[in-house]
Amino acid sequence: MNAYNEYKSLDLPSLENEVGKFWVQEKIFEKSISTREGKTPFVFYEGPPSANGMPGIHHVMGRAIKDLFCRYKTQRGFQVNRKSGWDTHGLPVELSVEKNLGITKEDIGKKISIEEYNAECRREVLKYQDAWEKLTHKMGYWVDLKNPYITYENNYIETLWWALKQLFDKGLLYEGYTIQPYSPAAGTGLSTHELNQPGCYRLVKDTTVVAQFKIVNDEKSKFLFNDAVPVFFLAWTTTPWTLPSNIALTVGGEIEYSLVQTFNPYTAIPINVILAKALIGKYFDSNFENAEMNFEVGKKELPWKIISTFNGKDLEGIRYEQLLPFDSNKNVDLNDSQIPFADAGGKVVLGDFVTTEDGTGIVHTAPSFGSDDFRMAKKYGLGSLTLVDKQGKFIDGVGEFSGMYVKNYKDDAKYESPDVLICIKLKKENKAFKVEKYEHNYPHCWRTDKPVIYYPLDSWFVKTTAAKERMMQLNNIINWKPESTGTGRFGNWLENLQDWNLSRSRFWGTPLPLWKSEDDSEVVCIGSIEELKAQIKSSTENAKQFNIEYDAQSISENLKDLHRPFIDRIFLISKSGKKLSRTPDLVDVWFDSGAMPYAQWHFPFENKDLFAKNFPADFIAEGVDQTRGWFFTLHALATLLYDSVAYKNVVSNGLVLDKNGNKMSKRLGNSVDPFTTLDKYGADATRWYMISNSQPWDNLKFDLAGIDEVKRKFFGTLYNTYNFFAVYANIDKFIYKEDEISLEKRPEIDQWIISLLNSLVKTVQEDFDKYEPTHAARTIQEFVDEHLSNWYVRLCRRRFWKGEYTEDKIAAYQTLYTCLLTISKLMAPVSPFFADKLFRDLNLVSEKENSESVHLSQWPEVNENAIDKSLEERMQIAQDISSLVLSLRKKVNIKVRQPLNKIMIPVLNEYFQLQVEAVKDLILSEVNVKEIEFITETEGVIKKKAKANFKLLGQKLGKKMKVAADVIAVFNQNQIAELEKNHSIQINLENELVEILMAEVEIISEDIPGWQVANKNELTVALDITITDELQEEGNARELVNKLQKMRKDGGFNITDQVELTIEKQDFINATILHFKNYICAEILADDLQLVEQLSDAEVVEVNDFPIKIILKQKK
C-alpha cells in the first residue's frame, strides 16, 4: 500500500485496456458529465457516421479531434454532453442492399415489395454498429452511445417534417424543374453520387455535327449581309438528337467572331458562316485563305476569306431559322403554354460558359437537355422543347424520327442511330458543315451500362438563395479552423449559392411530407404526426361531403412507420373534394444530418429546454469534404429556421493519406486498418502521433513508423521519468505528506522547471482555446523531452538517490511530482489513457487530488508568479555554456569524468554575469569543472566582433545598408572600443559620413586568444585544459567509482545494499585512494575500503588504462 507502481516495460495497448475497463466500471465518462451538472455547457454536435461501412483510420483522426476538445473543456469545468448519432438513410444503404439481394431498382415494387426492401435497408444500415462501437471504446472516444439519435426513427423524421413545414410556411419550399442526369434505360434520375461510381464515365465515339443555322436577314443582322449569299451560324454538338429541340444559340460576349466566305463542303453551295475567330484554324486550312473562290464536291481545297470580325455582344438577339422544323416543334413550351418557336427562341443569347476550346464558339442550346442550356432559357425567357420522352425515344410529330430511340436502349440489332440519320439529313439539306466521329468521355448509367441523358425532372427545392446574404453575414461570426476554409471554400460556395434540390426518387429515406392534388392546384405540407392525424380526420368529413369512399381507420394504421410504402398509402381529401396523394420523393439525406440540432432532441415535440440549452453548438469537427455537405446544411437550416449560426467553432480536418501521400483505398491495398493499428501501437500513441504530426487541416501522411517514434520519444521518455520518480520515491517513502515547500526555498533548478511548467500550462491552454492542438502537443513533448528529462532529471539525479531525506530531497520530489501530475492533465485530452494511468499512479499514493480520474480533475491553474523569464533565460545560458564546454572537451578528447580547473567566459555586461553566476553551480557540476572565471573587457584579452543590427539600421540607412553592414563587420578592436566608449562612431559610407549608434550594432566576443574557444550566437566559452596531478587523482577516483558502480550493478546488488571493498596496492592508484577514500566509500555505499598488498581471486578493472585488482562484496 501507498507505494507508487513501478513498471518493467511500457506496454501501451494493455495499459489502455486496463484503463478502459476502469472507465467502464467506475462510469468515469458518465461522471465527467454528471459532476459538471449546473456548470456552463459546452455544446458539441456529433456528425453522424453511417454504420453500413467499416470505420477507417481517418475516423480515428476525426474523432480524436472531437474527443480532445470535449475532454479539454470538461477539464476546464464545462459540462460537455455528447450525444452520438447514426446516419441511416440514403443511397449507399440502398446500393448495398441491392447488391446483397442481387436486384436492381426496377425490381423494387416488383420482385420485392417496397416494404420488404425498406425492412432490408433497416437491417443493413447498422450492420457494422458493433465494429464502430468497438472502435469508439478502443480509441478512447467518449460519446454517449447509449442514447444515440438515429435518423430513421419516427421521432427524428417527425422533426424533419416540422422543419420542412417551417420552410414551407415561410415560402422557402417550392417545386421546380431542373435538368438532371437521367437514365432512360432504367427510367430513373441519377444522383451525382451515382455518376461518380467508378467506370461511369466512359470514352465513347459519337457522331458529331457542326450544323448551319441560317440567319434571318433583318435590321439587327443586316451588317452580316452584303450579297445574296446566305449567312449561317456554325454550332457544334456531340448529341445531334438534341438538335430538333434547339431553342437558341449561345455566344460569348467578349469572344471575337468572324464572318467567313466559303462553300458548304458537302453541297458546294456558296455560303458565309460565322464562328469564333480563334477556331477558324480548326475548320479551314490556312493554305487556302483568300484562294480563288471556286469549289467542287469531293475537292479538298476549300477556299475561304474573312469578311469581317466582331464581338459576340454584337450578335445578341440575331434571329435564325429553325434548323429541323417538325410538327411537334412549331410551338415551344413556355410557362405552361405553347408559343410559336420564333416568339420564344430562334435567337442568339450571351452566356459566360462559352469557350473557344472546342466546337465553334457558338453553342447549340436545348434547354431540356443541358443545365447550362436550361439556365440560359430561364435567364432570357426562352421556351423549351422536349422532343424525347422518358423512355428515351422521340415523341410523335418529329417526322421520320418519331418513335426512334435516341440511343440503343433496347439492344436492337438493327438499331439505326438518329444521330447519324439527322446528320445525313442535314448534309443533304445544306445544313451540315462538318460531320465527324468524335471520342469523348460520357456518363453512363452504372446499372444498365447505357448512356445517360440530361433530362428535365420535377423536384422540390429549398430556396436557400433567399437567405444568401444572411448566410454570408452569419458565416463571418463562425470561427473556422483553418480560416481559409470558411472565407474561401465555404464563403465562395455561399456567394455562388444555388437552391437546394431536396428531391430524391428513392425508397429508403425521409419521405417528403407533401400531399398534392393531381392537377397540382392544392398542396398540403404536414409538420407533425398530430397534424397528419387531423388531416385524416378532416379528410373523412370532406369525403363524406363529396361522397368519396375514405376509410380513416385503415389509413391511420399506416402511421406506425413514417417510411414508404406506408406513408404512400395515406391519401387525403381536401375541402374542395380533391384527392391529395403524397409526392413520392424522398428528402436528400443531407437534410437529415443538417437538421440534427433539432431532430436529435425530437424538438419541438419534446425537450424544448434541452434544445434551448444546446443550440447553437460551440464546437463541431468533421473532414474538409463536409464543407459543402454537413457544414452547409447545418448552416443553411439554422439560418432559415432561426436566423442563427448552427455552430460557433468548426474544425475541418484534412485527409489521412498513406505514407507516400496517396489516397487510401481498398483497391490499392494501401488502407490502414484502425483495429490492428490500435492493437499494436495503442490508441494514445496513435492519437498523439496524429495530433502532433501535422495540423488537423493539413493532410496527414500516415506512417506507422511515426507512431513508433512517438512511442519511443514521448511516451518512452515520460514513462522513464515516472519510473525514475517511482523507484526513488518508494525508497524514501515520499508520499507527499509534507507541507509544500515554498518555491523560494527550493533550489534554482526547481524554480526553473516550475517556471517552465507554468509557461507550458499557459501555452497549452491558449493553444487549445484557439483550437490549435498540434502546437499544444508539440510544446508538451518538448517540455518532457528537452527540459524535464534531459535537463531537470539528469541534473537532479543525485538529489534523489543520495543521502538523507532532507528538505532539498523533498523539494526535488515535490517538484518532479508536480511536473508529472501537471503533464498528466495537459496531455489528457490528446492521450487519455496514459494520462489517466499516470495521474492515478501518482494520486493513489499522494491523494492530493480529489478526483478519481484525470478526466474529472480540474485543469491546472497558471501561477503567473512562478513564471520567471529571467530564470528561464539563465537556464538557457547554462545549457548553452554546458553544451559548449562539452563540445570543447570532445574536441581535445578529455572525458567528462576528468575534472578540470576552470572555464572562462567573456562578459560584456553586468546583467549577463549575474545571470551566469546564478547558475554557476549547475554548469560546474554538469561539465565537471571547478571554477568559472569572468573576463571583462578591461583586461583586454577578448577579441570582439561587431555586427550590424539589420532591422534598426536598415530602416535608417535604406540603400546604404549593405555597404554599412560590410564596414561594420570588419571593425577593428580600436573602432569597437571607440564605439563602446562614445556610444557612437562615424563611418564613411560612399563618401558620406554616417553616425552609427551603439544600439544599432551588436558586439560579441569572438575569441580569447591562446585558449580553446567555442561560440554559440553571442556566447563565448574558453576551457582550461591543464590537468594537474590533483585533478588526475580526482579523475581516477571518479573513474574507479564508475567501475565499482558497474560491478555493483552486474553483481545484482540492490541500490541500497552496503558493500565491503578491498583493493590491491598499485602505484597508480595509491595516492588517489589515499586522498579520495571518503568520496569513494560514500559513492558506492561502502563501510570501509581496504588497501592490501596482494589480492587473489580478485576482479580486474581498467581505470584510465591501468588494471586494478578489486574484490567487492555485499556486506552481511
Partner RNA sequence: AGUCCCGUAGCUCAGCUGGUUAGAGCACUACACUGAUAAUGUAGGGGUCGGCAGUUCAAAUCUGCCCGGGACUACCA
Tell me which residue of 225, 76, 55 sits closest to 137, measured CA to CA.
Answer: 55
Q: Determine the interface stretch with RNA among 14-22, 257-265, 817-825, 1052-1060 (rule: CB under 7 A).
A: 1052-1060
Bridge partners, residue 179, by sequence: 456
Question: Where do we find the cell 493499428?
Answer: 677
CA separation for the pair 478, 1047 (Å, rounded): 66
Site string for RNA, 289-328 (x = CB under 7 A): ----------------------------------------
CB of 607 to RNA, least distance (A): 32
Number of residues that bind RNA (CB under 7 A): 97
Antiparallel, parallel or unpaired: β 1059-1064 and 1106-1114: antiparallel
Alpha-helical segments (H) within 354-450: 371-380, 418-428
Q: Could you say which residues in the range 607-636 bind RNA, by CB under 7 A?
A: 624-625, 627-629
Q: Determine the interface stretch with RNA among 302-310, 541-549, 855-863, 952-960 (rule: CB under 7 A).
A: 952-960
CB of 688 to RNA, least distance (A): 12
Nearer to RNA, 410 or 713 (CB): 713
CB of 370 to RNA, least distance (A): 4
Site string for RNA, 370-399 (x = CB under 7 A): xxx---------------------------
Q: Could you say which residues in the range 413-442 bind RNA, by CB under 7 A?
A: 440-442
Q: How many CB atoms lie within 10 A of CB 533?
A: 14
352 — phi, psi (to 5°)? Answer: -80, -5
User: Exactly one of 171, 199, 661, 1010 binds RNA (CB under 7 A); which one?
Assistant: 661
Find out whether 182 and 402 touch, Cβ atoms under 8 Å.
Answer: no
Q: Could you say which residues in the range 482-501 bind RNA, by CB under 7 A?
A: 482, 484-485, 488-489, 492
Site string for RNA, 681-700 (x = CB under 7 A): ------------xxx-xxxx
Find out whether 1040 and 1072 touch, Cβ atoms under 8 Å.
Answer: yes
Q: Could you say which residues in the range 45-104 bind RNA, by CB under 7 A?
A: none
Q: Determine the interface stretch with RNA among 26-34, 224-232, 595-603, 1050-1058 (rule: CB under 7 A).
A: 1050-1058
CA 1089-801-848 angle, 5° bins: 155
Q: Is 925 in the site for RNA (CB under 7 A)?
A: no
CB of 911 to RNA, least distance (A): 18
Q: Is 706 in the site for RNA (CB under 7 A)?
A: yes
Q: What are the grid coordinates assigned to 880, written together?
A: 548553452
Inter-CA distances, 262 with 132, 310, 450, 847, Å: 70, 18, 40, 98
Inter-CA distances, 650 with 136, 484, 631, 766, 819, Å: 21, 12, 9, 17, 32
Which amino acid is residue 33, in one-letter code?
I
Question: Where do we find the cell 571607440?
Answer: 978
Q: Could you say which residues in the range 447-466 bind RNA, by CB under 7 A?
A: 454
Bridge partners, residue 936, by sequence: 907
Q: Could you say which residues in the range 351-370 bind RNA, by CB under 7 A?
A: 353-355, 357-359, 361, 363-364, 370
Nearer to RNA, 23 or 689 (CB): 689
Tell me which residue of 153, 168, 53, 36 sits closest to 600, measured CA to CA.
Answer: 153
Find out whether 852 and 69 touch, Cβ atoms under 8 Å.
Answer: no
Which amino acid is residue 5, in one-letter code?
N
Length of the chain: 1116
Q: Determine the interface stretch with RNA among 33-41, 471-479, 841-849, 945-953 (rule: CB under 7 A).
A: 945-953
Nearer to RNA, 762 or 947 (CB): 947
Q: Determine the interface stretch with RNA among 383-391, 570-578, 890-898, 1024-1032 (rule: CB under 7 A).
A: 890-898
User: Exactly one of 1, 413, 477, 705 binds RNA (CB under 7 A); which one?
Assistant: 705
Q: How far is C-alpha 492 from the chain's CA centre?
A: 18
Nearer to RNA, 316 or 372 (CB): 372
Relative orientation angle of helices 910-918 and 869-892, to the nearest 10 degrees:
80
Nearer to RNA, 544 or 797 (CB): 797
User: Exactly one of 720, 863, 901, 975 binds RNA (CB under 7 A); which one?
Assistant: 720
Cβ-in-10-Å burial (0-12, 13-18, 19+) of 591 comes to buried
User: Exactly one of 229, 291, 610, 655 binds RNA (CB under 7 A); which one?
Assistant: 655
User: Exactly one of 113, 391, 644, 790 binds RNA (CB under 7 A); which one?
Assistant: 790
Nearer to RNA, 382 or 580 (CB): 382
CB of 772 to RNA, least distance (A): 10
Residues belonging to the active site: 48, 87, 590, 626, 630, 663, 666
Q: Is 1045 in the site for RNA (CB under 7 A)?
A: yes
Find out whether 387 and 247 touch, Cβ atoms under 8 Å.
Answer: no
Q: How far is C-alpha 734 from the chain's CA centre?
A: 45
CB of 188 to RNA, least distance (A): 18
Nearer to RNA, 540 or 774 (CB): 774
Question: Where do we find the cell 430513373?
Answer: 188
Nearer to RNA, 867 or 957 (CB): 957
Relative orientation angle of helices 12-25 and 683-693, to the nearest 10 degrees:
110
Inter-CA distances, 231 with 359, 363, 436, Å: 18, 17, 22
Q: Is 961 in the site for RNA (CB under 7 A)?
A: yes
Q: Determine the interface stretch with RNA among 59-67, 70-78, 349-357, 405-413 (rule: CB under 7 A).
A: 349-357
Q: Could you say which residues in the range 1055-1084 bind RNA, by CB under 7 A?
A: 1055, 1057
CA separation for the pair 61, 625 (Å, rounded): 14
Nearer to RNA, 6 or 106 (CB): 6
Cβ-in-10-Å burial (0-12, 13-18, 19+) of 785 comes to middle
Question: By three-state DSSP, how is residue 203 classified?
Answer: strand
Q: Could you say which residues in the range 231-270 bind RNA, by CB under 7 A?
A: 235-239
Sign of the CA dihedral with 291 first, then 292, 293, and 298 last: negative
Bridge partners, residue 214, by sequence: 232
What is the DSSP secondary structure assignment for residue 804, as one 8-state letter? S
Find out whether 124 and 94 touch, Cβ atoms under 8 Å.
Answer: no
CB of 950 to RNA, least distance (A): 4
Nearer to RNA, 178 or 843 (CB): 178
Q: Is 662 in the site for RNA (CB under 7 A)?
A: yes
Q: Determine the interface stretch with RNA among 457-465, 573-581, 806-814, 1038-1046 (rule: CB under 7 A).
A: 1038-1046
Relative orientation angle of helices 57-75 and 129-139, to the nearest 10 degrees:
50
User: Exactly one of 62, 654, 682, 860 binds RNA (CB under 7 A); which one?
Assistant: 654
CB of 746 to RNA, least distance (A): 19
Q: Determine the interface stretch with RNA among 411-419, 525-533, 1019-1027, 1042-1050 (rule: CB under 7 A).
A: 1042-1050
Site string for RNA, 796-815 (x = CB under 7 A): -x---x--------------
User: Exactly one of 22, 174, 201, 934 binds RNA (CB under 7 A); which one?
Assistant: 201
Alpha-helical segments (H) within 665-805: 674-681, 683-693, 704-710, 717-732, 748-769, 773-782, 794-801
CB of 589 to RNA, least distance (A): 13
